[in-house]
Each structure stands twice: as C-alpha cells, then as structure tokens.
Amino acid sequence: MENDDALFMRRALDLALLGTGHARPNPLVGCVVTHEGRIIGEGWHQQYGGPHAEVNALAAVEDQEMLKKSRVYVTLEPCAHHGKTPPCADLLIAKGVPEVVICNEDPFPLVAGRGIEKLRAAGVHVETGLLGEEGRWLNRRFFTFHEKKRPYLVLKWAETADGFLAGRYFQPVQISCPQAGLLTHKWRTEEQGILVGTRTALHDNPRLSARDWPGAQPTRLVIDKNLSLPPTHHLLDGSQPTLIYTYRQPYHKANLDLVHLSEADDLMPQVMADLYERQIQSVLVEGGPTVLNALINAGIWDEIRVFRSPMKLGQGIAAPRLGHGGLRSVENVGTDELFWYVNQ
C-alpha cells in the first residue's frame, strides 16, 4: 500500500493531466495542499498565461491560516522568476508554508534549482524526487525540449500484416480501422506540430487536421525541398498554420511560411533547430518511409506508435523495421493492434 506522500503526489499528477492541451508550452503541473494528512486545497495549471498550479491550490484553502501548518505537494519545482505570473516560490514563502514536496526539478534555465534554493533559504523544508519517473513521463515533451534542444518526436504509421504502409508507387491504401483513425485525430490535438514529407503530401493530399476530435489544431510541417506541391493541395489552403521546409526562396502569406534550408545530405538537424527556435515542443510524424527511416536511423525519436492491420497487400512500399527493444505496450484498437515503443 502506498504511503500518504505517494498518494498525495499521485493526486497532484492526476490533476496536472487536466491541463493537457491548454498549458503548453508550459509544463503540466498539479498541486495538493494537505493539513494533518487531509487535503485542504488543490489545483493545476489550467491555461497558458494563467495562474500556476500552486496559486490555484493555495487559493482553494478556505482557512489561509492553515497554510502555516501545511504540507504542499507539487509535481514540478515552483518557479523563481517573473514570467507571465509572479514566482510561485515567493508565494509559498509569503503564505508561510513550512513543507514542500516536489516530484521533479525544472529543467527550464530560468528555474533549474533556483526555486528549491529560494525555498530552502527561507527555511522551508523541501523534499524532491517523489514519483520522479512518473513526473518525467507526464512532462516528457517539456523535458525533452529543454534538455535535448529539440521537439519531442512521436512517429506514427499504419502497416499491413505483411509489412506494407502503401501500395506500389505510393498508391494510398486505407490500412487502419476507423477507431485507429479517431485515435490519431486525438493524438494530433496533443502535439504542437505534425510532420510529413514530400511523397506523403503529394500522394495522400492530407489535411493534417484534427477534424474528428475536439482540441487545438497542430501546426502543419512539410518537407518539400523543391516546392513540388500543387497550389490546389490541402496543405496550401491556409486553413491552419503551416511551415514548408524547402531549398527555394522563403516567403510568407496567411497561415503559410516557407522556411529556407541549406542543401545538405541530412536535413533533419536544420528542421529540428528551426522548430526549437519556434518553441514547438512536440511533433507527431506521419510521414512516409523516407522521413520515418531517416529519423529512426539517426535515433532522433522518442515514441513510435504503429497500427498493425490484419489486411495484407502482398506488395507495396515497405514499412520501417524496428528491433524488439523499447516496446512499451501492445493493445487492441478496433480490428488493429497498436504497438507502442519508447526510445530508451
């Protein structure tokens, strides 16, 4: 049975999840305030630019005097700098909170241990690392972005039982079942960008939108080195923010930016650097085999999600091949199986 500390921190992690899709590019943060083993206040970071989790949790405590004898659980180190809101470390100190338990230290350079240092300097008892692995998984996009200086990359494709992801000559084939398609639209709302290569854009003419699930629309990202896409394609319709990575001269029009790449054998470092500068913390990669294999071979990926259908094509474009390492789970999604890998 879990002790009270772990139970309260797990509650804070559950609360943090409620900010999914709304807090970014800030991390997901939850906070629980306890007094003598009982929760007296709780909150989470509900909206980017809005009050942080600690602010909401402390404000939820009816008797503010109880804060002077409270124990606060927070999933990420309280901030120590003035951003869109005042420092949460200062608020905890001002309220007289004597004990703070933190899941993860913040990798963001303006925090990075300073919140903990400020709390301890004020006499607050601080504990760190409780359920740290769960906390890192919760904010894996945030941690990867700040630690690796690139977006968190989720590679996704659908393949047949005999290992193909398209017909001959890249002919589009409906491989995954309707339930898998719906889940894909949900995933699109969870990432800030969605990336495809030239062949996928040309042959599939995708919209790359989350039409079938409520939530934020991702920024569409297309590698089109020689501007092969015809102007009638959906990706150039201006319906949502779109970046085209190309060797050609850059230009801008409504909801569309061309980003110039220098001609090189490996374009991905340039694309990743540009996305980092644009503060795009996570990308769902739905590209064809060229883009997918380039990222896999370079080891530049964080998750891979593969829908495997019972259908067979006999011939076609081969899906990327993976080793057995990193398999996190296998589950049924409609008539398909979903294989979920994590880069270790």
Domains in the chain (CATH in brackets) are 4-143 (3.40.140.10), 149-342 (3.40.430.10)
Name the active-site residue from 2, 42, 54, 190.
54
| Residue in the structure block whose two tokens are 């064809």 | 288
SS3 state of residue 276: helix
Task: Tell me the β-bridge partners of 244.
Answer: 222, 258
In this predicted structure, what is the pLDDT of residue 249?
A: 85
In this predicted structure, what is the pLDDT of residue 173?
A: 86
SS3 state of residue 152: strand
Weakly modelled stretches of the chain, pLDDT under 70: 1-2, 82-84, 323-325
Burial zone of 265 (CB within 10 Å; 0-12 exposed, 13-18 middle, 19+ buried): exposed
Radius of gyration of the chain (CA): 23
Residue 278: CA count within 13 A, CB half-sphere: 19
Q: In what order do the strands lie in the sheet with 38-44?
A: 38-44, 30-35, 71-76, 99-104, 125-128
Decide the pairing of beta strands 219-223 and 242-246.
Answer: parallel
Rounded to the nearest integer, the mean pLDDT of the chain is 92
Catalytic: 54? yes
